[in-house]
Amino acid sequence: MDAQGLHIETHPREGDPVLRAGRPDPCTVVLFGATGDLAQRKLFPALFELARANLLPEHFAVVAFSRSTLDDNAFREHVKAGLQKFARTQPLDEATWQRFAPRLEGISGGYDDAASFARLKEKLEQVAQRHGTEGNQLYYLATPASTFPQILNGLAGAGLLTREERPHQTPWRRLVIEKPFGHDLESARELNRELSAVLDERQVFRIDHYLGKETVQNILVFRFANAIFEPLWNRNHIDHVEITAAEKIGVENRGGFYDETGVIRDMVQNHLLQVLALCAMEPPVSFGAEDIRDEKNKVFRALRPLEGRDVSHAVVAGQYQGYRQEKGVKPDSRTPTYVAMKMNVDSWRWQGVPFYLRAGKNLKQRLTEVSIHFKSVPIGLFSGEGATCQRLQPNVLTLRIQPKEGIALSFESKVPGEDVSIAGVTMDFNYAESFDQPVPEAYERLLLDCMRGNATLFARQDSVEQAWSYVTPILRALESGEGGDIHTYAQGTSGPDAAAALLARDGRRWTRL
């Protein structure tokens, strides 16, 4: 029992898993942007952790394609230095490193140079023989979006990427691309056209690390494996849904990049709409990738459009004080670092239930969560004698995505004593503590799924375009000024006052940060 008197037991069910993850296929991961920030902070630590847990295929290699010249030894030292800083388990496990290091090889070249891709092809043939990877290749573009077409054409031109004619064809070729998938609807369509000119949709893995988080995956199990929640999961019982992604940090030294992007492109268009879809979707026919992705796409299609003047009534955009003075940011920038939105899903299940989203930088704390607010009790049994009597709070179910992944449920209880006094109680379940095992990093799960060819947690072409068609008119309205002002807010607060007013108009308020 902890200090709050709460005892949580977990009882793993007997028998085989509902869905067995399966062993990943032998393969070579070809990493573009191998000396960049993402590779150092996330990708190599994830691969190393998988090696430590013996989850990587037995026959496996990494070929790092980089514009800077690196010999294999210098490259391995560079990776090791990154792991000593960013690996999930410290100190670095030397025995795993000795097994892992020989699988890392480097090659340098230009993204626009056909000869570099010809050299890469030769290198991959040698690596496949040396490491027994059976010719399966996973190309990972950890590079700026502007380089995607160049790399795609280089790989296709060298015959390294070919279209899969039938499912489960071997040897396979797969491509992983990092967000942003486009800058608006038009550029997303253009990128998808370029991808589909070379590859079948089955071969494209658009990675969104939010979907690799344990709690996000648990939303489906939580909803559809518990008969006490699913019957209540609709407009008859739920008053509103709140999705928050708050960050404590500002733009750090990425001012130039962020000023081109902004919070709506960076967080809402991908991460938060994906989370919203999991919370709002109908039960899928099965846990198969396409069945789940079909249901998510229906949610995107049901989003009520926001355009022109409507945007100013439903969206509040903000910038933290001092943002325009950050390095790389334009002095008259209208790029929001904060957004609060009221959204509607026009479906049978959700008609009339508002979804409130908020995301921002330089806020009071780092927190990503979904709060399902149930309706109040229908009768004033508890209105008491005076006007100052205790107020009942509706039940709230909170799905915490980060930090401390878990689930909490609040309900009302009587305080012991002669008077009928009411107190709120929160039951809180924390993943890492309750299951007594570390929660894997999102990239660990997602990289394995790419090697398995399981696309459940990846964004499909139609969903990406559907999400952009919802977000693009909002961006246009904000950029033109038609969508209202950009409000400033002090650093370390909960965001602009106008965001509180957005909910106050509906007689509601945000959960405190």
| Catalytic annotation, residues | 271
Enumerate the H helices of 387-488 as residue ranges.
431-435, 442-452, 461-480
DSSP bridge partners of 27: 60
Supply 512's token pair. Answer: 């405190």
- Say how many C-beta atoms besides its own lie within 10 A of residue 429's C-beta: 16
Closest CA to 278 of 304, 250, 299: 299
Q: What share of the chain is helix, strand, coil (3-state, %, to 5)?
A: 40, 20, 40
Residue position matching structure tokens 């496949």: 128
**Residue 101 vs residues 17, 36, 49, 67, 501: alpha-carbon distances, Å:** 33, 18, 13, 21, 55
Closest CA to 310 of 132, 474, 140: 474
- How far is it, in rounded angstroms, from Cα 94 to Cα 98? 6
Closest CA to 244 of 337, 341, 359: 359
Closest CA to 341 of 357, 353, 360: 357
Closest CA to 344 of 299, 298, 304, 315: 304
- How far is it, in rounded angstroms, from Cα 152 to Cα 139? 10
Burial class (CB in 10 A: 0-12, 13-18, 19+), 468: buried
